[in-house]
A and B are shown apart, each in its own frame.
Chain A
């Protein structure tokens, strides 16, 4: 399978403190990759490098190479707006816009210049279906998205990202603020779309990683400890630290 994102020796520092000490990870197209590790290990930081969300933080320095389909993400001529259209993101806290459900999902498309009502309607419906939330919102499309439960809001956020049809979807602990039932619905959603999108998910929940991901990367204190197919990692980890973490000896 072709690699869609490659990264080599990525270092990141906030001021004088280095948070990532040279991480090299490649992601294959249409796979789910999970990034696991204890709090503060750098997994979210790494994820946010992929769509340059770390640019927003002052004093961040990033070195090394990160490429999306062979093109450097950090090249000076890169259009960040375009990059973020291709690499969408779902956050830890559900953050729908204070608009209607319909408008939340259609917003990105509208801004991209789509005006045809039929196209919009159809794309909104498809995205909401992909995100496994259609049945719950189809009669409330014009209600404010903030009036739904956290789990529903999070799936609306997933639909919002899918509507602009990115190639890669980044999820930053998307279920850590949700109850188990909502979490499992988000997992269903990811299983639904796994063959159309490349998914990279940061999670605290090791069971979740083992349930849904094809490959898993284990990070510890800013280093990549192990990166292998999920099944292998959970049954025969190469590194002792991985095995200790998976067995709950720390973290």
Chain B
């Protein structure tokens, strides 16, 4: 076999494998969207869920999902950024950082049910938080952190050593070199990390069942005081998310239109994640422009 034929075969195999991945993706997305979209209506998106009657919506669950995502990111992003910077820029190569890296990896492979039960015992029961968005956000932080830390660390590592040398040789301090040059250059990668972890958070159910709870009490969307128990911003209230809702409707739903609700909610879930991706990318591009060509 000459090198040309082997090259052709290799290319063919690679194309075939890519086609497989693509086919699975298209099939899944297509199936979910085609079965789900017909059930999505303005009414579906803006009315609250029904326990027994048909015609319930997903307004509260949708909002809860987004609120939970934002809270989780607010908690986990600074921690992940800090530890990512430490691991990439400051950590010496010794057994302590080796242990940290291994711990991060182990944490990321914890089953989410375990994280959920741990969160239930520690936060919900021991710390008396009850089923609450906050308990859910902290539990999600646990398994969001490793991924986010890892991806931030890797995007920082990807920035060429030449850039750091340029900064330092110009008389910039180490910290200023990191924040002023390395971080902006790593921004697109960091953003991808956030998007990936956000997708995971948005779609997570198991860890939330025992922490954020399975009920979505009616909240007042006009009440902007987070301390108010009826406010939509209150983070001590139980909050069923979209993914949990899908799970619940499928397992113990008694409404006659349970199947339709779960298909519709799944389609919404996917569309929202897609929108979030696009939005985050646009934001990233804008930020990158702002940080790199200040004009």
Contact = CB atoms under 8 A, between A and B. Distances in A.
Interface string B253-295: 0000000000000000000000000000000000000001111
Interface residues of B, number: 23
B172 to A, nearest CB: 6
A164 interface: yes
A84 B166 contact: no
A53 B165 contact: yes
Contacts, number: 78
A82 B292 CA distance: 25
Interface in A65-114: 81-85, 88-89, 91, 93, 95-100, 103, 107-108, 111-112
A51 B170 CA distance: 10
Interface string B159-203: 010111111111111001000110011000000000000000000
A143 to B, nearest CB: 8
A160 B293 contact: no
A93 B176 CA distance: 22
Given A98-B184, A111-B171, 14 more contacts: A51-B169, A53-B165, A81-B172, A84-B168, A91-B166, A98-B163, A98-B292, A100-B293, A103-B292, A108-B172, A111-B176, A112-B171, A143-B293, A160-B166
B172 A95 contact: no
B293 A97 contact: no
A84 B293 CA distance: 25
Given A88-B170, A161-B170, A99 B292 contact: yes
A82 B170 CA distance: 9
Interface of B: 93, 160, 162-173, 176, 180-181, 184-185, 292-295
7 contacts: A53-B165, A91-B166, A95-B165, A98-B184, A100-B295, A103-B292, A111-B176
A142 interface: yes
B293 A142 contact: yes
Nearest to A144: B293
A98 B164 CA distance: 12
Contacts of A1: none
Interface of A: 51, 53, 56, 58, 81-85, 88-89, 91, 93, 95-100, 103, 107-108, 111-112, 142-144, 157, 160-161, 164
Contacts of A98: 163, 184-185, 292
Given A91-B162, A95-B162, A111-B180, A85 B294 contact: no
A29 B160 CA distance: 33
B165 A56 contact: yes
A96 B173 CA distance: 17
Would you list the 10 A-B pairs with minimal beta carbon distance, nearest first? A85-B171, A89-B169, A95-B162, A100-B293, A84-B171, A95-B166, A108-B170, A99-B292, A142-B295, A98-B292
A144 B184 CA distance: 13
Query: How would you classify the secondary structure of chain A's contact residues: helix, strand, loop or mixed?
Result: mixed
Contacts of A99: 184, 292-294
A172 B68 CA distance: 52
A114 B93 CA distance: 38
Contacts of B163: 95, 97-98
A198 B136 CA distance: 62
B166 A97 contact: yes
Contacts of B162: 91, 93, 95
A91 B165 CA distance: 9
A97 B159 CA distance: 11
A97 B171 contact: no
A51 B172 CA distance: 13
A122 to B, nearest CB: 18
Contact of B294 (A58, A84, A100): A100
A111 B171 CA distance: 9
B292 A160 contact: no
